[in-house]
Amino acid sequence: MFGGRCPFGHKPSDPFKAKREAGPVARYEFQGEQIPMILRHAEVRQAAKDWKTFSSDAPFRVPIPSEEEARSMRQLPIETDPPVHGEYRTIAEPYFQRPKLPEMVAKVEALIDEMLRAALARETTEIVHGFALPIQARALTYLLDTDEREADTWIGWGVHVFRVRGGLKKGVELEDYLTRKFDAVSRTPGRCFFSALAQARFQGRPLTREEMMGFANLTFAGGRDTVIHTIACALGHLAANPEALAYLREDPKRIVHAGEEFFRFFMPLTHIGRVCPVATSVHGEQVPAGGRVSLGWASANRDESVFPEPDVFRIDRKPNPHLSFGFGEHLCLGAPHARLLLRTLLQKCVELVDGMEIVSAEERTETEHSYERKLGYESLVLRFRPRA
């Protein structure tokens, strides 16, 4: 339903379809390493829950491609296993539950209202860098309970703090920034996320500086580009399919289900890595001790046995057990924040926007040795029309 194809190719491709139909796992090459990717929904969920077989206790190697050259500290809590993972997660969780607070909801509503009204007043608006990135950065200041002016610095880092077109970059700017922040809050603590980390205790002791940096590093790198690209894809889809916006306007209660379909259909993160502590057979594929396995979130979200017509965007799809926020112990801490941003964006579009027109678009493609996956835009320019 309302799954028309944008003439600029915004509809994401599914390069895993044939291999997923042939079996639950297939090998793909990343950085010269042959890694089995688990492709089917049930098998991905099973592996995500089995942390003893598929461990996250692998600094720098949970992302694929791995990030040894991009950062100097273990990201927390994602690169740990239970029970340590749960203890670490408890430290950060109060801040990542803030999207449920009425005051934060009101701030996000005001932010997106402001951004949309500004876009409506302009002839055209570039969405990826000029709209979605500022929303992500400014909303993150609300999440972390810090000065909104900090967002100007974060916007300057671009869509991803480590990744650029064609590869990785070193996160030196981020690490230098975090060092200054933790130096400052150690002298003058406040109520922000950085201060909370500086005062937190783990197993009866204060966090080390490396642990503080690991939490903050993930906070800025983990969900940044995924939120930005989801916002851009959602607006691109509404521009290409005006009947979808009209459908939501008829009954705004439909927005919740629509948001989940946007997360499923436009899943920016293809997969995530796990490491097998001992030699393991993964559905017939042999993985040596210390070898990696990929959990194919994007492939699982297109599993025909779970999602009828998976290549069709169905704005009213339910049930919708997508895996865009992971599954099991490592369910994404930022999921409430991402849901609040997208839900509010759709609500404000219904209230303020009569329609959108795609002026220009540059397709975004993830290119690996074994596949190419289209997943949104490098740039998207829209013209917004206000409601009468």
Instruction: Specify the pLDDT at position 223.
Output: 83
pLDDT in tens, 282-291: 999 999 999 9
pLDDT in tens, 115-150: 999 999 999 999 999 999 999 999 999 999 999 999
Instruction: Specify the pLDDT at position 5.
Output: 47
For residue 193, being part of any structural domain is answered with: yes
> What's the rounded mean pLDDT across residues 232-244?
96
For residue 1, being part of any structural domain is answered with: no
> What's the rounded mean pLDDT across residues 309-331?
97
Residue 197 has pLDDT above 60, yes or no: yes
For residue 9, being part of any structural domain is answered with: no
For residue 115, being part of any structural domain is answered with: yes
In terms of phi and psi (left: phi > 0; alpha: psi -120 to 50; beta: otherwise), the region of 163 is beta
Q: What is the CATH number of the domain that holds 177?
A: 1.10.630.10
For residue 3, being part of any structural domain is answered with: no
For residue 2, being part of any structural domain is answered with: no
DSSP 127: S
> What's the rounded mean pLDDT across residues 211-239?
95
Residue 348 has pLDDT above 80, yes or no: yes
The number of distinct structural domains making up the chain is 1
For residue 331, being part of any structural domain is answered with: yes
Q: Which residues contact 267 (CB under 8 A, 6 or more apart)?
A: 12, 297, 298, 301, 322, 324, 375
For residue 235, being part of any structural domain is answered with: yes
Residue 81 has pLDDT above 60, yes or no: yes
pLDDT in tens, 14-65: 999 999 999 999 999 998 999 999 999 999 999 999 999 999 999 999 999 8
Please check whether residue 289 is in contact with residue 32, taking contact to mean a CB–CB distance below 8 angstroms.
no
Tell me the residue length of the chain: 388
Instruction: Specify the pLDDT at position 4.
Output: 46
Which residues on neighbouring strands pair with residue 293, listed in sequence order? Answer: 274
Please check whether residue 26 is in contact with residue 16, taking contact to mean a CB–CB distance below 8 angstroms.
yes
